[in-house]
């Protein structure tokens, strides 16, 4: 396979995660890093011998030797960077949410469609689909093992913003967009529920709550998840305009029903995306805090618990597990799985994309906006697809 | 303590469970059993040497030597039996739901109040409160360990009515009342959530679904949970007018939020009442399928898992655990805990009841009716308390 | 079924547990209680309206109206009481260990054989066999599901004697016999391993350790498991001559291998009897701290986890589960299962005993003595059967 | 940091795992791969653009531009390759076991000592120490949280060689050395037990068993863990001279006691290294199948369960966790942690090695040989250190 030259825009937690995952693919050379400050860019690039660092990402887009761009900036910049990258003829992997509103996301989908002439590939990084066990759930549904899907339920719960002294740029709508919990993690849950069931959420009722109406913003910047190990310093009180918690009821067509909650204030839950899918024949349940385990529920026989093992996975899920049975693969491995498939699809323009597109990013923004609207109106909202 | 003479009305799964639990108290003699047929009554009474068996429960109420009555009939009879028992001057333990509608339940509450002159005790058997670990959750909340309650969430999921060939008298509104899943098991969830948090649900949005619009009713009777081990026989198709599944979003006042689902069609879930309570300081989670374990979530230290152990329980929870650490106590033990306290309160008229009253039964029926109303109107419904 | 009159000798933790379990059987009337002091006897008997209480258990044995005796005294008295009870023509349930040495136990077995003419029944209360899931393991082995047994391994770990300030009569060989951990809980493990596999331990290597060579004995008595909630008082240093921990390697014939540990000083383990049986086809694992769950391991398909559910149990295990799926049954329920079968076998002299006999109690003492001998000699010891 | 040029010798499962982990470090360029056949070497090297591939590893050792060598061959070649690499002036990471006997391992340790003049670094890849939670266990012990260590126990169980049709080069002593289960995985267990407790095994009793005296060897080669997804073909019966299972009892000095089992025939256990350490103050337990969880046992308070979270780890363990709380890290990440520290120590000759040395590899071979000797003599064996 030919080797691709890639630039990473954004040097925070996500930029670092993308870089390390790309290094695990032989076919991709990370050729440049852009960040808000040159020190941030250097901190990420230097240990890997990446020489090109920039504060103006457009300079990287102007480099015709660069094939692809990974957008890892704060959410509010996603639209501008992704649009410019497509315009510059780059393949684009954009972190989620694709934009901070569905109108922008729709424009990106349109730009991506126009770029098809130039065979540009686009992905929204809903990476959590790519745990081997999530693929196994999908494969079991596709093979008919679950029967008809009746219920999808679960939660995505974290605790890193439990206290009013916890801060991150996502707290302010200005940087993160009007929704926080639902856009950041609720969207992962919905993306997984739709990916696994193969069904679409058609209407929903949402109830959002901002427990901390005011939070203490520190003087300096705070990286995502870094607040918990920082030492507190000078701070100022800031009104919070994004939600800490939400619950959603939903329909998937006439028959299937569902519900989930999302929270960043649930003490003790570090990164618990729990999803349960109940069908007429059997059911599946999975928890991101134990990613290598899959529970399968049965009515007339014992339940099953599978420890990740390529020899036990359905054929379509097997290629998502790179290590033998019981040799755990983690959160970081999901990025490798997405990116491998992304670059394979660049190498083979005839290949069908096996990763989430900009369209999937748009989809999740439409759901988030429906949740905001439902919360405001206290009514069920139909999803226009 | 003096010995009480008690009658059990209803000889199904619940009648049997009440009888065995009462035997474990030294202070209660089961003096009579009434059931729909004399054979049913005899089957329950005979192994315990209970000589008095009746098909007309009123004959037991007429017996002035009987102090108390346990109402274990199908739901639709609860009101009549409980009302008659109070009128006959008996202390009454009524299985839940207290009645099939809140109007009847309210009448029972009024009758119970009028009976206070006669110092008659009354209980609705929301027994699930009385697992030691549920009491521990309540004790932790009362002691301030959890801080202010932010979120209550969970599910009560079973699978015994998954197939359209599964049948029980509860399926038909005629015998079980207009709500099945929410009244039968959703009410247990709400009762526990209110008991543990000390808060009241003030408004809710409910979404109910009957997946099987038609079920196959066997020619003969089927005991609760007995369908799974019965051999199928002649059956007829019956339209189903009670729900298989429901999801509920709710507010507990201005600040606290919650959500739960209830289901009898979730493959692999046998009796999973899962409840999670998140506070500003810490959180608790419990699952009835592992009743002796309590999870306690923390943000800035490791989470805790307690195996039931009297020496570790809060003082107010300790008396609910009769066995040493790691010596499991089960579903059946919760009945013993309720009944012990019920009869102690008869012996000591000055004692404050430490068990759920008819008022609590009424409360749950009000919530069920709000759920039905919300599902019908597709709107949030305020709970009048 | 006819009603039996029974006496309980010993009014501690075990006496109480026996009494409550007997009450759950309709067929047994507890007619008398004997204890070291009349106050102890009264404390147990009085709440259940049992009028006859004694300090001299022989007076109860002289009562010809008494059919059966439950021996619940400290270990050192088991032999005398059980022998006297058989001599007095009583059916005998003896707590384990059956005696404090195999010579005494052998005499009891002989007495029991001689009593067969009088159709006296005898049981050693290895109650832990009678969790429904333990019976399910046995049933799976009997049906060939496991294939040939290769390995048996596990542990029985508790923490109630972790500190040198923890005290109980079992600590002193004088009252408890020369072995503590192996006799008290290791014997439960071995009994279960032999019961489930159907194989016999044929040789073993044991390593015992007394971590606390000295313990502080309080001035007053301390009930089993009661030390953790007692307030400390005056105590004296006592040399300890019984072990805190042991590990055992063993053979079951030519092919099958095994190993287990037993401990009363393992912080955080309250009553964890964990047993794993690996066969050529599949395997099973069970943990007393989650008694309603059974893990079943498979090589070429997903593992299974069964939540106790009569409809899922093998037919021969089903009668050990009195409650429906997911309605937990606990430690106390195992006593009910043993005693029900014991009294049924009295009622039906032709019935084969479905409970552990005095022979099983002797068997465990032989193993304990082999463990002591192996630990002393630092060699493998053959078990003479 | 300067960049190092590294060669990988051996292109099987381990070679691939080393390569991918090295790619995640910016400071290491994999400059060559040697394997038994040129096709194997190419299959590993080509996707990563590594141009130099060889069947004669000595050609890579002759390349003076190569700084370091990773030995990933079958066990029987470890000694020759590692010795030659040191002689050629390379830093060496050797897979475990360091050799197939302690005499060879001792020579390697001597060679390594002699190479210190040339500042050559050496490591035996006991990678499992480097799960964040294993480091946390060690840190808790070092900080005194556990008190004095009383007991270490556990198991390392797999099922990939359960059937007699399962084959791998390790089955034959010729390629894998005289011990299979104990050398392959038992040594991981012992290494971890000694690493976490800081104590040394001083004597042991071992019992080994080869359940399959004969296995079916396929005509072609079978990669490690690949047997389960291969299609069977022509095979021949081969006598097996390595063990399938072993149990070990051990002393760590006068006071501490332990026991473990190791197995490759335990159905349903994919890669379960379970270790439990009990101290006088508290205890820890960890299972490789759920690597991000740590159980901490307490006697007088609730137990703890920590989900991996850098903000909760002890300072000395924190640097082993690269991702935030609840973002799982897996088996592959442990290699990254070892190699990062290995190359950092090359860059900084003054640095103390924070990884297992050849000495640690020798240590484990001494234990394996003691196990073989104990099994043969049926006696306890003292460990000469």
Which three-class secondary structure string do you get for C280-323?
A: CCCEEEEECCCCCEEEEECCCCCEEEEECCCCCCCHHHHCCCCC
Separation between Cα atoms, residue C6 and residue C29, nearest integer Å: 6
C228 has a pLDDT exceeding 80: no
pLDDT 10s digits, C140-167: 999 999 999 999 999 999 999 999 999 9
Q: What is the ipTM of this complex?
A: 0.95
> Chain B contact for A153, CB < 8 A?
yes
Taking residues D174-192, what's their average pLDDT? Answer: 93
Cβ separation D207–C155 shorter than 8 A: no
Residues 6 or more apart in contact with residue C352 via CB below 8 angstroms: C345
C373 Cα to chain B: minimum distance (Å): 31
> Chain A contact for C65, CB < 8 A?
no
> For testing the chain A interface, which of D4, D270, D329, D343 should be mutated: the one with the most A CBs within 10 Å?
D270
C230 has a pLDDT exceeding 80: no
Contacts of B302 in chain D (CB under 8 A): 294, 296, 304-306, 312
> Chain B contact for C233, CB < 8 A?
no
C1 has a pLDDT exceeding 60: no
B232 has a pLDDT exceeding 70: no
Residue C338 is predicted with a pLDDT of 97
Residue A18 · residue A50 · CB < 8 Å = no
Cβ separation C288–B224 shorter than 8 A: no
Q: Which of A205, A265, A380 sits opposite B278 (nearest CB)?
A: A265
Cβ separation B304–D302 shorter than 8 A: yes
B1 has a pLDDT exceeding 60: no
> Chain D contact for A295, CB < 8 A?
no
Residue A117 is predicted with a pLDDT of 85
Residue A230 is predicted with a pLDDT of 63
Residue B385 is predicted with a pLDDT of 66
Chains C–D, number of C-beta pairs less than 8 Å apart: 124
Residue D351 is predicted with a pLDDT of 93
Which ranges of B46-186 would DSSP assign to H, the alpha helix? 57-61, 75-87, 102-114, 132-142, 173-176, 181
Confidence label for D235 from pLDDT (cuts 50, 70 and 90): confident
B280 Cα to chain A: minimum distance (Å): 7
Cβ separation A283–B263 shorter than 8 A: no
Separation between Cα atoms, residue B34 and residue B47, nearest integer Å: 15
> Chain C contact for B266, CB < 8 A?
no
Cβ separation C296–A302 shorter than 8 A: yes
Cβ separation A3–D329 shorter than 8 A: no
B150 has a pLDDT exceeding 90: yes
Q: If residue C252 lies in a helix (H) or strand (E), which one and from where to where?
A: strand C245-252
Q: In this predicted structure, which of A132-146, B213-227, D237-251 has the lowest mean pLDDT?
A: B213-227
Taking residues A148-161, what's their average pLDDT? Answer: 98
B229 has a pLDDT exceeding 70: no
A229 vs C325: which has the higher pLDDT:
C325
Chain A 26-45, residues with CB within 8 Å of chain D CB atoms: 26-27
A1 Cα to chain D: minimum distance (Å): 7
> Chain A contact for B259, CB < 8 A?
yes
> Chain D contact for B231, CB < 8 A?
no
Residue A250 · residue A258 · CB < 8 Å = yes
Bridge partners of residue D4, in order along the sequence: D28
> For testing the chain B interface, which of A160, A209, A296, A299 should be mutated: the one with the most B CBs within 10 Å?
A299
Contacts of C306 in chain A (CB under 8 A): 302-303
Cβ separation B270–C330 shorter than 8 A: no
Q: Which of D257, D299, D378 sits opposite C162 (nearest CB)?
A: D299
Provide the mean pLDDT of chain D: 95
pLDDT 10s digits, C266-295: 999 999 999 999 999 999 999 999 999 999
Contacts of A305 in chain C (CB under 8 A): 295, 302-305
Confidence label for A231 from pLDDT (cuts 50, 70 and 90): low
Cβ separation D307–B303 shorter than 8 A: yes
Contacts of D203 in chain C (CB under 8 A): none
> For testing the chain D interface, which of B140, B290, B303, B307 should be mutated: the one with the most D CBs within 10 Å?
B303
Residue D229 is predicted with a pLDDT of 65
DSSP annotation string for C76-129:
HHHHHHHHHHHHTT-EEEEPSSSSSSHHHHHHHHHHHHHGGGGT--EEE--GGG
Q: Which of B259, B282, B298 sits opposite A247 (nearest CB)?
A: B259
Residue C231 is predicted with a pLDDT of 63
> Chain B contact for C232, CB < 8 A?
no
Residue C16 is predicted with a pLDDT of 95
> Chain D contact for B311, CB < 8 A?
yes
D145 has a pLDDT exceeding 60: yes
Residue B360 is predicted with a pLDDT of 97
Taking residues A260-270, what's their average pLDDT? Answer: 98
Bridge partners of residue C324, in order along the sequence: none
Contacts of B285 in chain D (CB under 8 A): none
> For testing the chain D interface, which of B302, B309, B310 should be mutated: the one with the most D CBs within 10 Å?
B302
**What is the percentage of chain D residues whose pLDDT exceeds 70?**
98
Tracing tokens 């609207």 back to the chain, one arrives at A373
B33 has a pLDDT exceeding 80: yes
Residue B273 · residue B257 · CB < 8 Å = no
Separation between Cα atoms, residue C257 and residue D13, nearest integer Å: 31
Residue B230 is predicted with a pLDDT of 63
Chains that touch A (3 or more CB pairs under 8 A): B, C, D
Separation between Cα atoms, residue C278 and residue C264, nearest integer Å: 26
Confidence label for C176 from pLDDT (cuts 50, 70 and 90): confident
Cβ separation B271–C23 shorter than 8 A: no
Taking residues B5-22, what's their average pLDDT? Answer: 96
Taking residues C304-317, what's their average pLDDT? Answer: 96
Separation between Cα atoms, residue D292 and residue D336, nearest integer Å: 16
Residue A22 is predicted with a pLDDT of 96
Burial class for B186, CB neighbours closer than 10 Å (0-12, 13-18, 19+): buried
Confidence label for D385 from pLDDT (cuts 50, 70 and 90): low
A26 has a pLDDT exceeding 90: no
Chains that touch C (3 or more CB pairs under 8 A): A, B, D
Contacts of A300 in chain C (CB under 8 A): 311-312
Q: Which of D257, D299, D378 sits opposite C380 (nearest CB)?
A: D378
Cβ separation D151–C268 shorter than 8 A: no
Q: Which of D268, D296, D380 sits opposite C283 (nearest CB)?
A: D268
Contacts of D295 in chain C (CB under 8 A): 268
> Chain B contact for C126, CB < 8 A?
no
Q: In this predicted structure, which of C200-214, C231-245, C339-353, D130-144 has the lowest mean pLDDT?
A: C231-245
Provide the mean pLDDT of chain B: 95
**What pTM value is reported for the model?**
0.96
Q: What is the CA radius of gyration of chain B?
A: 21
CA angle B110, B115, B119 (to 5 degrees): 140
Q: In this predicted structure, which of A12-16, B134-138, B220-224, D91-95 has the lowest mean pLDDT?
A: B220-224
C296 vs C228: which has the higher pLDDT:
C296
Structure tokens at C222: 């301390």
Taking residues D26-55, what's their average pLDDT? Answer: 94
Nearest to A365 by CA among A69, A147, A108: A108
Instruction: DSSP letter for C32, please.
Output: E
D294 has a pLDDT exceeding 60: yes
D231 has a pLDDT exceeding 90: no
A232 has a pLDDT exceeding 70: no
> Chain D contact for C323, CB < 8 A?
no
> Chain D contact for B297, CB < 8 A?
no
Provide the mean pLDDT of chain A: 95
> For testing the chain B interface, which of D133, D299, D302, D313 should be mutated: the one with the most B CBs within 10 Å?
D302
Cβ separation A288–D328 shorter than 8 A: yes
**What is the percentage of chain B residues whose pLDDT exceeds 90?**
89
A1 has a pLDDT exceeding 90: no
Contacts of A27 in chain D (CB under 8 A): 47, 49
Chains that touch D (3 or more CB pairs under 8 A): A, B, C
Residues 6 or more apart in contact with residue A96 via CB below 8 angstroms: A124, A125, A126, A187, A188, A361, A364
Beta strand pairing status for D214-218 and D283-287?
unpaired
A309 vs B234: which has the higher pLDDT:
A309
Whole-number Cα distances in Å, C147 to B371, B383, C197, C277: 52, 59, 11, 11
């Amino acid at each position: 396979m030919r080797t691709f030259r890639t630039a990473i825009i954004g040097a925070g937690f996500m930029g670092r995660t993308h870089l390390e995952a790309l290094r695990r693919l032989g076919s991709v050379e990370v050729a440049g890093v852009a960040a808000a400050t040159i020190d941030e860019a250097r901190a990420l690039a230097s240990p890997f011998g990446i020489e090109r660092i920039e504060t103006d990402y457009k300079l990287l887009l102007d480099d015709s030797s660069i094939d692809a761009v990974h957008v890892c900036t704060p959410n509010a910049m996603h639209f501008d960077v992704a649009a410019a990258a497509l315009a510059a003829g780059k393949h684009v992997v954009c972190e989620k949410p694709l934009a901070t509103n569905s109108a922008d996301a729709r424009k990106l989908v349109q730009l991506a469609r126009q770029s098809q002439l130039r065979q540009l590939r686009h992905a929204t990084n809903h990476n959590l689909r790519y745990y081997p066990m999530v693929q196994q759930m999908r494969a079991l549904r596709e093979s008919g093992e679950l029967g008809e899907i009746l219920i999808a339920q679960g939660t995505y719960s974290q605790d890193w913003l439990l206290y009013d002294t916890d801060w991150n740029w996502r707290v302010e709508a200005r940087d993160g967009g009007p929704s926080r919990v639902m856009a950041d993690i609720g969207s992962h849950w919905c993306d997984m529920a739709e990916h696994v069931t193969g069904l679409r959420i058609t209407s929903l009722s949402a109830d959002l709550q901002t427990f901390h109406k005011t939070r203490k913003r520190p003087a300096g910047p705070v990286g995502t998840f870094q607040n918990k190990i920082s030492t507190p310093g000078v701070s100022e009180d800031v009104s919070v305009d994004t939600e800490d918690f939400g619950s959603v009821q939903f329909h998937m067509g006439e028959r299937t029903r569902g519900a989930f909650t999302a929270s960043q204030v649930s003490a003790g839950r570090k990164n618990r995306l729990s999803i349960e899918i109940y069908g007429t024949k059997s059911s599946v349940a999975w928890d991101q805090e134990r990613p290598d385990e899959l529970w399968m529920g049965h009515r007339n026989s014992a339940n099953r618990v599978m420890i990740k093992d390529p020899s036990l996975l359905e054929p379509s899920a097997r290629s998502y597990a790179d290590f033998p049975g019981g040799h755990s693969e983690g959160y970081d491995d999901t990025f490798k799985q997405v990116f491998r498939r992304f670059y394979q699809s660049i190498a083979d323009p005839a290949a069908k994309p096996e990763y989430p597109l900009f369209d999937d990013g748009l989809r999740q923004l439409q759901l988030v906006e429906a949740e905001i609207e439902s919360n405001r109106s206290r009514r069920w909202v139909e999803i226009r697809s």
